[in-house]
Amino acid sequence: MDTLAQMVEELSEDARVHVRNVAENLQLAADLGYGDVALLVPGSDGALVVIADARPMTAGSAIPTTRVGRVIDRDDEPEAYDTLTTGAPSCDVKRRTRRGIAFSSTAYPVGGDGRPYAILVRHLGQAVSEAPGKMEVAFMRLAQLLLERLQRGPIRDIDTEEPYATTRLAGDGVLEIDATGAVVYASPNAVNTMRLAGMESQLVGGPASALPGGALAVAPVIGTDGAREKTVNVQGRSLRYRTVALADRMLVLVEDVTDAVRREQELHVKEMAIREVHHRVKNNLQTIASLLRIQARRSSSDEAARALEEAVERVSSMAVVHEMLASSTDESVDLAAAVSTVVDMVRRGLTGADSGIRIAVDGATGLVPAQVATSLALVAAELVHNAIEHGVGPAGGGDVTVFLARDSRSVSLTVRDSGGALPDTFQVESSAHLGLAIVKTVAEDDLRGTLSFRSGAETVISVTVPIDETD
- CATH number of the domain where residue 39 is located: 3.30.450.280
The count of structural domains within the chain is 3
| Residue 122 domain flag | yes
Residues 355 and 452 in one domain: yes
Asked if residue 327 and residue 230 are part of one domain, the reply reads: no
Here the CATH number for the domain that contains residue 426 is: 3.30.565.10
235 Rama sector, left if φ>0, alpha if ψ -120 to 50, beta otherwise: left
Q: How many residues belong to the chain?
A: 471
Looking at the structure, do residues 31 and 179 belong to the same domain, yes or no? Answer: no
396 shares its domain with 368: yes
Q: Are residues 409 and 424 in the same domain?
A: yes
Q: What is the pLDDT of residue 20?
A: 93
**199 and 304 both lie in a single domain:** no
Q: Is 160 a domain residue?
A: no
Residue 177 falls inside a structural domain: yes
Q: Can you give the pLDDT at residue 31?
A: 92
Q: Does 359 reside within a domain? A: yes
d(CA 18, CA 68): 18
Q: Are 25 and 165 in contact (CB under 8 A)?
A: yes
Domain with residue 184: its CATH number is 3.30.450.20
Same domain, 101 and 191: no
Question: Is the domain of 250 the same as that of 278?
Answer: no
The answer on 147 and 44 residing in a single domain is: yes
d(Cα 110, Cα 117) in Å, to the nearest integer?
A: 6
Residues 65 and 185 in one domain: no
Give the residue from 360, 29, 291, 294 showing the smallest Cα distance to 165: 29
Distance, CA of 370 to CA of 44 (rounded, Å): 54
Task: Decide if 348 is inside a domain.
Answer: yes
* CA pseudo-torsion sign 303, 305, 310, 311: positive
Residue range(s) defining the domain that contains residue 329: 261-466
Q: Of 217, 234, 256, which one is at a domain's C-terminal end?
A: 256
Q: In the chain, how long is the greatest CA-to-CA distance?
A: 102
Cβ of 158: how many Cβ atoms within 10 Å? 15
Mean pLDDT in each 10-residue stretch from start to end of the chain (471 residues)?
69 91 95 92 88 87 86 90 90 75 87 84 80 86 93 94 92 92 93 88 88 92 93 89 93 89 70 63 74 77 75 72 67 83 77 67 86 83 79 67 88 82 58 71 85 79 79 47
Of 222, 256, 290, which one is at a domain's C-terminal end?
A: 256
In a domain, 100, yes or no: yes
Half-sphere exposure of 284 (CA within 13 A, CB side): 7
Query: Is the same domain home to 66 and 130?
Result: yes
262 C-beta neighbours (distance < 10 Å), count: 11
Report yes or no on 168 lying in a domain: no
**Residue 96 pLDDT:** 76
Q: Which of 208, 241, 256 is the last residue of a domain?
A: 256
Residue 251 counted as domain residue: yes
Q: What angle do CA 451, 455, 459 make, to 5 degrees?
A: 80
For residues 324 and 224, membership in a common domain is answered with no
